[in-house]
Chain A
Amino acid sequence: MTTMCDAATGRQELQLATFRAGDWTLAIAIDQVQEINRRIEATFVPHAPPSVRGVMNLRGEVVTVIDLRTALGLGPAEATRHSRNVVVNVGGELVGLWVDQMGDILKIDPSAIAPPPPHLAAVDRRFVAGVYATDDDLVLLLNVEHAVGVA
């Protein structure tokens, strides 16, 4: 996760891509995102872990697509017209995260990120690297390695 230094203010700045999974707003650092697409076709792989939606062709690479809601224990996702596939680079491997809907790009000060609160029961704390409060929402920073189960 790299941070950018704002030349004018001298403050550190972190850009987050946000998206929805179930009732939650989640975020990852934007430089971890390879691309976002709306490709819904995936080849089902029998005997794969339940959170795996399948594999898809991303310009000649076979990429694993993870149903993020299942991975986080929020129940399986449905394919809607808002559904998106967020392709992230996890430890050198491209993995697609199947999310319900994309949100805004947030530019935040990294120091505003708080550790996950102890009462965060709905989502396993291992999946959350920290939280960031906006004016009207609580954004959970996703620990991608843990969430996709490759850590």
Chain B
Amino acid sequence: VSIDEQEILQEFVVEATEHLADVESQLLAIEAGGADVDAELVNQVFRAVHSVKGAAGFLQLDDINRLAHSLENVLNRIRNRELVPQSRHTDVMLRGADLLRIMISRLPQPSGVDVTDLRTELDRIADGAEVPEERPTFEALGELHAPQAELEPPFVPADVPPAAERADAALRPGAPEGAAAAVAHDANIRVSVAVLDRLMNLAGELVLSRNQLLQAIGTPDQSGLETAASELDHVTSELQEAIMQTRMQPIGNTLGRFPRVVRDLSAKLGKQVDLQMEGKEVEVDKSIVEAIGDPLTHLVRNAVDHGIESPAVRQAAGKRPQGVIRLRAYHQAGKVLVEITDDGAGIDPEKLKRKALEKGVIAAEHAQRLTDREALRLIFHPGFSTAEQVSDVSGRGVGMDVVRSNIERLGGTVDVESQIGAGTTIRVSLPLTLAIIPSMIVRCRQQRFAIPQSNIAELVRLRPAEARQRLGMVKSGEVLRLRGSLLPLVRLGRVLQFEEPATAHDDGPVHVIVVESGSVRYGLLVDGISDSEEIVVKPLGRHFKGCGYLAGATILGDGRVALILDVGGVAARADFQGASGDEEATDPTTQGEQGRTERQTLLVFRSDPADQFAVPMEVVSRIERVKADALERVGGRELLMYHGEPLPLIAVEDGLPVRPRPQTDHVHVIVFATSHREIGLVAPELADIREIEATIDSETFRARGVAGALAIDDRLTRLLDVFALAEAIHPQWFEQLPASPPTETPRRILLAEDSHFFRTQVAGFLTSAGFEVDEAGDGQEAWETLLEDAALYCLVVSDIEMPRMNGYELCERIKRHAATASLPVIALTSLSSDEHMRRGREAGFDDYQIKMHRDNLLEAVRRLAAGKAAGGRRGGQAVRRQEASV
């Protein structure tokens, strides 16, 4: 084949594929129209097939030409109203269109498909010589579909390049081949002339900026350098945006296949389904449009197979016999959401729990703790299928866990909502583009690596002393003790076979990144954490096919290349099976009471209507209500200009895996103060301020920034630790905290607190600030501990309300007893009335702090501990003062 011929052939493939792209949906629409034939629609299909026929004839592609011709004849009869297309006619025509597409996609290779039978069928229909219609029984339908099943293999032609060789596939080495094998011409992209013109303009601007820059550098005082640089900055951003625009495609390109999927499948299952689609025009990056096809298809098939009931069942339940599946795509807060809603039977969470128990997916005690929502999420658990029996529709070995991991690989999330009897909604959230992903840059020995933020659950920094306590061995594997659980630990340096560092590793803090991917969850130990950066993913060359632990590479700000880690691949390299979140072993040493009641005044707010959060009132400085458009986004961060000062903002969705907040006209900003600055937390909808006495569960919703969960008005509410949340989102805001100075005095604090929840929280604050903490469950226990060896401690932090001995009494005893009189005592409370303050002063407390106000508490602790360490002089004075007051 000469080069010219090849080019012409290539053109034909592109053009014919375009012609045929809409034929399927148009045929379905014609069928739906029944006797009332839409002539224009039939004409469109006719013209498309006719063009393909003509070009194929010219290129001497005889099979394609003849098949198109037969198809055209049938269409002609429909056009002339000589034939009202029945379902079986449409079937044959659809198969014809399928076959044309397959043959065309395989060019220039011969397709190896025999078109004779199908042509005979088409010709029979065209001649009106077909056998009279039988009642389409279920078996008959099955037969009708049989030939199509035989055709299925060519959908994945062997000669399509494997996924790994495609540039954008480098990001997801394990991606199913299906996405890559979709169409042969997807290496091309159509760009509107307007976008191209804009690119040209910007390229011109870029040249101008470069010239300005060169000129500015040339002048002796380098004047104008700043202007030129800012101009360049501006043009570059715009150019990047414009280029990204060229990659955007309507998601409808993928949704287009669903009418056929639903039609064929519902016919096969004897169900009646009406598919409604909305938002086909929503634009997403090309690579995402391609990659999302398979997971969405699976979800749609599931909705038909498991969601919608058979007509009889529906009627018995008082529903219309025809079920409805709604597919809706829309933009929200910089993401694309695709919802698949059915009005079917819904999912029974109790049934799921039972199944999960049977299959050993979860433990019995765990099952009891699960909320309905969590139980529903079990469907995403590996090895979990809800079908009562394995049908050939969904029992294809591809479960929802694969759907989830494929979506997560794209940087998206998937969630499920369901109501028994009313239906199920699966919500898929996708990033707009794959090319740029927010990442954390970590260090291992001398090298830097990037980890996508979507894989990071939290960062854990351990002081050397703490590390010795919290890192341990279980069987042959290393583990990290994290809030009562044992998390498998992987040392990145070992996985990469780097040499062990020359210096002993117990002289600095230990950094562990808790990462998740699909069902894998583990702690990744790195040498250091550098920064978070938005990185552009670059594919790696073919020499690195064996490096499954890599997801690609990126170029950092200094021009050097950093490798992007594939969290699942690293786990595979480390040769361990990371426990999934549900199966994490529980650390026996910290097991016990899970929560205690505690009176708290909470500010309750909602982000997405489904997500309710609470913040302890004590940490709130003030609340502002502002117009949503007053929030500015600068360099990827949100801020609010407040009295001429920028107030940095955080939002729950920045740090927690929750849905982005809905667009509203006004938002509330909850302002709280760290020791360095004020920070605003965006609260879209304030619900209430409540004084509640609730059990706080600190185990189930473990995430950085979440102190625990509780029920308010029967709604699950997450209690936020706003400081930890802010630190998780913007660690750099907290870095300038003064490192605790080395000191010979024991920096050990005795913490008396009866609530397990608060004890863990406060102990966490203190240990992360570099103190060692001993915990006591009440005043009596604390007092006994002090009697044993008071010299161990530099400070006592005590709750007020405790059984056996309360905080006032403990403090009074400490201040009266000679051995302990010089110990500073901080009262820790959620009670902040004047009366309490007065009693506290009387009892001799050196300071009075609110439990959840981490920053103020730490400041007081540092101040008093330093005073104590500095020597007895100040302590002595304090004692005298206390004695005077007693």
Decide if A and B are genuine partners: yes
* B539 x A52 contact (CB < 8 A): no
Residue A57 at the chain B interface, CB threshold 8 Å: yes
Residue A48 at the chain B interface, CB threshold 8 Å: yes
**Chain B: minimal CB distance from A37 (Å):** 13
What are 26 A-B residue pairs whose CB atoms fall within 8 Å in the complex? A41-B560, A43-B447, A43-B553, A43-B561, A43-B563, A45-B540, A45-B544, A45-B550, A46-B496, A46-B497, A46-B498, A47-B546, A47-B549, A48-B547, A54-B561, A55-B540, A55-B553, A57-B560, A60-B538, A62-B554, A63-B541, A64-B543, A93-B542, A95-B541, A148-B543, A150-B542
Instruction: Give chain B interface residues in 816-832, CB to chain A under 8 Å.
Output: none
Given known contacts A46-B498, A47-B497, A47-B549, A93 and B541 CB-to-CB distance under 8 angstroms? yes
Residue A49 at the chain B interface, CB threshold 8 Å: yes
**Hey, which chain B residues are within 8 Å of A61, CB to CB?**
538
Secondary structure class of chain B's binding surface, majority of residues: mixed
* B497 x A44 contact (CB < 8 A): no
Residue B132 at the chain A interface, CB threshold 8 Å: no
**Chain B: minimal CB distance from A90 (Å):** 9
* A48 x B447 contact (CB < 8 A): no
* A64 x B498 contact (CB < 8 A): no
Residue B203 at the chain A interface, CB threshold 8 Å: no
Query: Which B residues fall within an 8 A CB radius of A?
Result: 447, 496-498, 538-544, 546-547, 549-550, 553-555, 559-563, 573
* A56 x B561 contact (CB < 8 A): yes
Write the A6-50 contact mask toward B (1 if CB under 8 angstroms, else 0). Answer: 000000000000000000000000000000000001111111110
- Residue ID in chain B nearest A54 by CB atoms: B561
Assign chain A's interface to a size class.
20 to 34
Query: Which A residues fall within an 8 A CB radius of B?
Result: 41-49, 52, 54-57, 60-64, 66, 93, 95, 148-150
**Hey, which chain A residues are within 8 Å of B546, CB to CB?**
47-49
Q: Given A45-B544, A49-B543, output 17 extra A-B contacts at Cβ < 8 Å.
A: A42-B561, A43-B447, A45-B550, A45-B563, A47-B546, A48-B543, A48-B544, A52-B543, A57-B559, A62-B539, A62-B540, A62-B541, A62-B554, A64-B543, A64-B544, A95-B541, A149-B543
* A55 x B559 contact (CB < 8 A): no
- Residue ID in chain A nearest B550 by CB atoms: A45
**Chain A: minimal CB distance from B298 (Å):** 33
**Hey, which chain A residues are within 8 Å of B553, CB to CB?**
43, 55, 62
Complex alpha-carbon distance, A42 and B561, angstroms: 8
Complex alpha-carbon distance, A137 and B550, angstroms: 43
**Chain B: minimal CB distance from A19 (Å):** 21
Given known contacts A45-B547, A46-B498, A62-B555, A57 and B561 CB-to-CB distance under 8 angstroms? yes
| Contact count A vs B, C-beta below 8 Å | 67
Complex alpha-carbon distance, A32 and B82, angstroms: 63
Complex alpha-carbon distance, A32 and B880, angstroms: 87
Complex alpha-carbon distance, A5 and B559, angstroms: 42
Complex alpha-carbon distance, A148 and B538, angstroms: 21
**Hey, which chain A residues are within 8 Å of B544, CB to CB?**
45, 48, 52, 64
Complex alpha-carbon distance, A142 and B547, angstroms: 27
- Taking each of B496, B542, B560, B561, which has the highest tally of chain A beta carbons within 10 Å of its own beta carbon? B561
4 tightest A-B CB contacts, nearest first: A46-B496, A64-B541, A43-B561, A62-B538
- Residue ID in chain B nearest A91 by CB atoms: B542
* B543 x A47 contact (CB < 8 A): no
Complex alpha-carbon distance, A27 and B464, angstroms: 56
Complex alpha-carbon distance, A90 and B547, angstroms: 20
Complex alpha-carbon distance, A95 and B550, angstroms: 19
**Hey, which chain A residues are within 8 Å of B542, CB to CB?**
93, 150
**Hey, which chain A residues are within 8 Å of B539, CB to CB?**
62
Complex alpha-carbon distance, A48 and B544, angstroms: 6
- Residue ID in chain B nearest A44 by CB atoms: B447
Complex alpha-carbon distance, A43 and B550, angstroms: 13
Given known contacts A47-B549, A62-B553, A62-B561, A55 and B497 CB-to-CB distance under 8 angstroms? no
**Hey, which chain B residues are within 8 Å of A42, CB to CB?**
561
Given known contacts A41-B560, A43-B563, A46-B496, A55 and B541 CB-to-CB distance under 8 angstroms? yes
**Hey, which chain B residues are within 8 Å of A95, CB to CB?**
541
* A55 x B561 contact (CB < 8 A): yes
Complex alpha-carbon distance, A76 and B554, angstroms: 27
Complex alpha-carbon distance, A149 and B540, angstroms: 15
**Chain B: minimal CB distance from A16 (Å):** 25
**Hey, which chain B residues are within 8 Å of A66, CB to CB?**
543
Complex alpha-carbon distance, A148 and B542, angstroms: 10
Complex alpha-carbon distance, A61 and B553, angstroms: 10
* B562 x A43 contact (CB < 8 A): yes
* B555 x A57 contact (CB < 8 A): yes
Complex alpha-carbon distance, A66 and B544, angstroms: 12
Complex alpha-carbon distance, A57 and B561, angstroms: 6
**Chain B: minimal CB distance from A117 (Å):** 30
Complex alpha-carbon distance, A122 and B555, angstroms: 38
**Hey, which chain B residues are within 8 Å of A49, CB to CB?**
543, 546
Complex alpha-carbon distance, A48 and B541, angstroms: 11
Complex alpha-carbon distance, A93 and B497, angstroms: 28
**Hey, which chain A residues are within 8 Å of B538, CB to CB?**
60-62
Complex alpha-carbon distance, A52 and B541, angstroms: 11
- Taking each of A46, A52, A61, A63, which has the highest tally of chain B beta carbons within 10 Å of its own beta carbon? A46
**Hey, which chain B residues are within 8 Å of A93, CB to CB?**
541-542
**Chain B: minimal CB distance from A60 (Å):** 7
- Residue ID in chain A nearest B539 by CB atoms: A62
**Chain B: minimal CB distance from A58 (Å):** 10
**Hey, which chain A residues are within 8 Å of B543, CB to CB?**
48-49, 52, 64, 66, 148-150
**Chain B: minimal CB distance from A97 (Å):** 13
Given known contacts A47-B546, A55-B540, A60 and B497 CB-to-CB distance under 8 angstroms? no
- Residue ID in chain B nearest A93 by CB atoms: B541
**Hey, which chain A residues are within 8 Å of B447, CB to CB?**
43-44
**Hey, which chain B residues are within 8 Å of A57, CB to CB?**
555, 559-561
**Hey, which chain B residues are within 8 Å of A56, CB to CB?**
561
**Chain B: minimal CB distance from A91 (Å):** 9
Complex alpha-carbon distance, A148 and B554, angstroms: 23
**Hey, which chain A residues are within 8 Å of B550, CB to CB?**
45
- Residue ID in chain A nearest B496 by CB atoms: A46
Complex alpha-carbon distance, A149 and B543, angstroms: 8
**Hey, which chain B residues are within 8 Å of A47, CB to CB?**
496-497, 546-547, 549, 573
**Hey, which chain B residues are within 8 Å of A62, CB to CB?**
538-541, 553-555, 561
Complex alpha-carbon distance, A48 and B550, angstroms: 11
Complex alpha-carbon distance, A47 and B550, angstroms: 10
**Chain B: minimal CB distance from A100 (Å):** 21
**Hey, which chain A residues are within 8 Å of B498, CB to CB?**
46
Complex alpha-carbon distance, A17 and B496, angstroms: 37
**Chain B: minimal CB distance from A51 (Å):** 8
**Chain A: minimal CB distance from B450 (Å):** 12
**Hey, which chain A residues are within 8 Å of B559, CB to CB?**
57
* A43 x B547 contact (CB < 8 A): no
- Taking each of A48, A49, A54, A56, which has the highest tally of chain B beta carbons within 10 Å of its own beta carbon? A48
Complex alpha-carbon distance, A49 and B546, angstroms: 9
Complex alpha-carbon distance, A60 and B554, angstroms: 9
- Residue ID in chain A nearest B573 by CB atoms: A47
**Hey, which chain A residues are within 8 Å of B541, CB to CB?**
55, 62-64, 93, 95
**Hey, which chain A residues are within 8 Å of B496, CB to CB?**
46-47
- Taking each of B497, B541, B555, which has the highest tally of chain A beta carbons within 10 Å of its own beta carbon? B541
- Taking each of A56, A62, A149, A150, which has the highest tally of chain B beta carbons within 10 Å of its own beta carbon? A62
**Chain B: minimal CB distance from A78 (Å):** 19
**Chain B: minimal CB distance from A86 (Å):** 16
**Hey, which chain B residues are within 8 Å of A48, CB to CB?**
543-544, 546-547
- Residue ID in chain A nearest B497 by CB atoms: A46
Complex alpha-carbon distance, A11 and B640, angstroms: 74
Complex alpha-carbon distance, A47 and B573, angstroms: 10
**Chain B: minimal CB distance from A131 (Å):** 27
Complex alpha-carbon distance, A94 and B498, angstroms: 27
Complex alpha-carbon distance, A54 and B420, angstroms: 56
Complex alpha-carbon distance, A60 and B549, angstroms: 22
**Chain B: minimal CB distance from A144 (Å):** 14
**Chain A: minimal CB distance from B129 (Å):** 53
**Chain B: minimal CB distance from A151 (Å):** 11
